[in-house]
Every structure is written in structure tokens, then in C-alpha cells.
């Protein structure tokens, strides 16, 4: 199992690295498109009622085609940077943020894991959440470059890794015992601090990083607070997927990634963070 997990991680990193180093923007955009389509299919498998399960792949395929059409008509034929306001309607980002705050977060707090609730609403929200996250990642990459995108995702990686080790070392108080019994408040605090330190350090010492982009609009002390906010939001995304999986009675969102589960399992924390991150840079709402 560990060998399979390591091999899959290596392949995924090589694919991501190749797309990032390409002279064209399209390899990474297509990779993000595939990830979004797979994650949406997995989300819908968890959220739709059993009688509508067959619709999950078709909704995911249709949505992916729409996203491809949007980016195809938005990207210029040359390598010039397109206007950022042409990919999607800018108000999709705050709309999805409101969904995470008013729909997803309260359900995590309630911790009801016995049955799938509001399947149509949860599935519709899934479509909007995945599209918004995909668009945010594309915008960050095209506007600010690969390092900005990677350093933003690294914020989530630092939060996740630090939360795991901090929780194992000193974790005592459960964060959401009904949804994810292994997560603790101590781990969450450790993860949030690690993400904030990473983002602040890159803001100060790494030009072109996500932290540096934030510092240009805000200030260096503000970057620390904004990173705390983003890391906290990432926890909501992680817990919400755990809630959906418990309601569906499954361990992983799918088996697309050997040893890792599904694509949604790997990007659950990224989905709520990406729209907020792109709004904080000021390119959606200057």
C-alpha cells in the first residue's frame, strides 16, 4: 500500500511539474480541467441521492465541456495575458464563499452523518464550488505565474502536514469528532500557524510567490492574518468532504488515484481556499 501510494505521488508530481514547466499555459490548464471534472464526479457520487447516482458522470462531463469552452474562448491565440474578467462572472467567487459559510460549515458543525441531506442543493453547490475553484486556479496561474500558484497550494500542504504531526504529538481536544475523529484543535492550530509562517516568509523573501502578491495589495503583517484565514478555510473543505463520505458510507471519494483514493480526496481543502485566494489578490475585484 505504501509503495503504491509513493509511486502514485511521484507520477502526479512529475505530471504537475511537466505542466508547470511547459512553454505554453495550456498543459496546466488542461490538467486543472481534468482534475476539476474528476473531483466534481466524485463530489456528485457522494452528494446525490441513490436514485440519481447515474447522473453524476454526465453532469461532470457536461460541466467540464462548459469549462473548456469558457477557457477556450477566453484565452487568446497568442501567449498574451487575457483580461481576467472574461473567464467567469466575478460574483461567482463570493457566491461560492457564501455557500461554504452558510451551507457547508453549519452542516459540519451539526455533524449529522447518518443520511444524505439536501442532495439536490448539495450537488448544485458542488458544481459551483468546483467551477469557481478551477477558475481561480487558472486566473492565479495566468496572471501571476506558476510559482504564485504552487506557493498558494503549498499553504494548504503546510497546513495539512503540520496539523497531522501536531495533532499526533499533542492533540487532545477533538475538532469534529462525529465527522473526522482524528482531527484535533491542537492540530488545527499547528497547521494554521505553519501555513501562516510559510506564506509570510515567502512574502518577505520570495518574489512572485503568493505571499508576495498579497503583500503588494495589503501589507506584510496583514499577509500573516490572511494566511491564517485561508488555512482555517482549508480545514472547512477537508471536514466537509469527510462529512459527505460518512453520509455516503465510503472511505474514499473514488479509486482513481491508487493508494490515495480520489482526486477530491487530494483537493478537498483547496476547493474553498482558491476562490478566496484569488479575491484577496485583487484581480477579480480590484
Write the pLDDT tens digit of every residue in 42-75: 999 999 998 899 999 999 999 999 999 999 988 8
- 144 or 3: which leads in pLDDT: 144
Question: Is the pLDDT reported for residue 81 higher than 60?
Answer: no
Q: For 149-178, what is each residue's pLDDT tens digit? A: 999 999 999 999 999 999 999 999 999 999
Question: Is the pLDDT reported for residue 83 higher than 70?
Answer: no
State the pLDDT at residue 3: 67
Mean pLDDT over 138-142 rounds to 93
Mean pLDDT over 261-274 rounds to 95
What pairing do the DSSP bridges indicate for beta strands 174-176 and 180-184? antiparallel
Mean pLDDT for all residues in the chain: 92
Question: Is the pLDDT reported for residue 136 higher than 80?
Answer: yes
Q: For 172-226, what is each residue's pLDDT tens digit? A: 999 999 999 999 999 999 999 999 999 999 999 999 999 999 999 999 999 999 9
Within-domain flag for 286:
no
- Which 3 state secondary structure label does DSSP give 130? helix
Name the residue range of residue 90's domain.
2-78+85-281
In terms of DSSP H, where are the helices of the chain? 2-21, 26-47, 55-74, 92-99, 105-110, 119-144, 146-170, 185-205, 210-217, 220-248, 263-267, 270-281
State the pLDDT at residue 285: 73
State the pLDDT at residue 23: 85
Mean pLDDT over 243-247 rounds to 95
Within-domain flag for 211:
yes
State the pLDDT at residue 2: 54
Question: Is the pLDDT reported for residue 84 higher than 80?
Answer: no
Closest CA to 236 of 140, 170, 159: 159
- 138 or 3: which leads in pLDDT: 138
Confidence of residue 78 (pLDDT cuts 50, 70, 90): very low
Mean pLDDT over 249-266 rounds to 90
Cβ contact 141:21 at 8 Å: no
Q: State percent of the chain over pLDDT 90.
A: 78
- Per the structure, the count of domains in the chain is 1
Within-domain flag for 133:
yes
Amino acid at each position: 500500500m505504501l509503495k503504491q501510494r509513493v509511486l502514485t505521488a511521484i507520477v502526479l508530481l512529475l505530471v504537475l511539474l511537466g505542466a508547470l514547466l511547459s512553454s505554453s499555459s495550456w498543459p496546466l490548464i488542461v490538467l486543472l480541467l481534468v482534475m476539476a471534472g474528476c473531483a466534481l464526479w466524485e463530489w456528485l457520487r457522494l452528494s446525490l441521492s441513490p436514485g440519481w447516482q447515474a447522473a453524476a458522470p454526465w453532469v461532470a462531463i457536461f460541466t467540464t465541456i462548459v469549462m473548456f469552452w469558457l477557457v477556450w474562448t477566453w484565452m487568446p491565440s497568442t501567449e498574451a495575458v487575457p483580461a481576467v474578467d472574461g473567464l467567469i462572472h466575478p460574483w461567482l467567487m463570493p457566491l461560492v464563499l457564501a455557500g461554504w459559510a452558510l451551507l457547508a460549515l453549519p452542516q459540519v458543525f451539526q455533524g449529522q452523518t447518518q443520511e444524505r441531506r439536501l442532495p439536490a442543493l448539495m450537488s448544485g453547490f458542488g458544481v459551483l464550488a468546483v467551477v469557481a475553484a478551477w477558475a481561480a486556479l487558472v486566473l492565479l496561474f495566468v496572471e501571476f505565474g506558476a510559482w504564485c500558484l504552487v506557493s498558494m497550494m503549498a499553504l494548504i500542504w503546510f497546513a495539512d502536514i503540520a496539523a497531522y504531526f501536531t495533532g499526533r504529538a499533542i492533540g487532545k481536544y477533538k475538532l469534529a469528532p462525529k465527522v473526522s475523529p482524528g482531527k484535533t484543535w491542537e492540530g488545527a492550530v499547528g497547521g494554521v500557524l505553519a501555513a501562516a509562517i510559510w506564506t509570510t516568509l515567502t512574502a518577505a523573501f520570495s518574489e512572485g510567490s503568493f505571499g508576495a502578491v498579497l503583500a503588494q495589495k495589503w501589507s506584510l503583517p496583514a499577509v500573516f492574518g490572511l494566511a491564517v484565514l485561508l488555512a482555517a478555510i482549508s480545514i472547512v473543505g477537508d471536514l466537509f468532504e469527510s462529512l459527505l463520505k460518512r453520509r455516503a458510507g465510503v472511505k474514499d471519494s473514488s479509486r482513481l488515484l491508487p493508494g490515495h483514493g480520489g482526486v477530491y480526496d487530494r483537493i478537498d481543502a483547496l476547493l474553498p481556499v482558491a476562490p478566496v485566494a484569488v479575491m484577496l489578490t485583487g484581480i477579480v475585484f480590484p
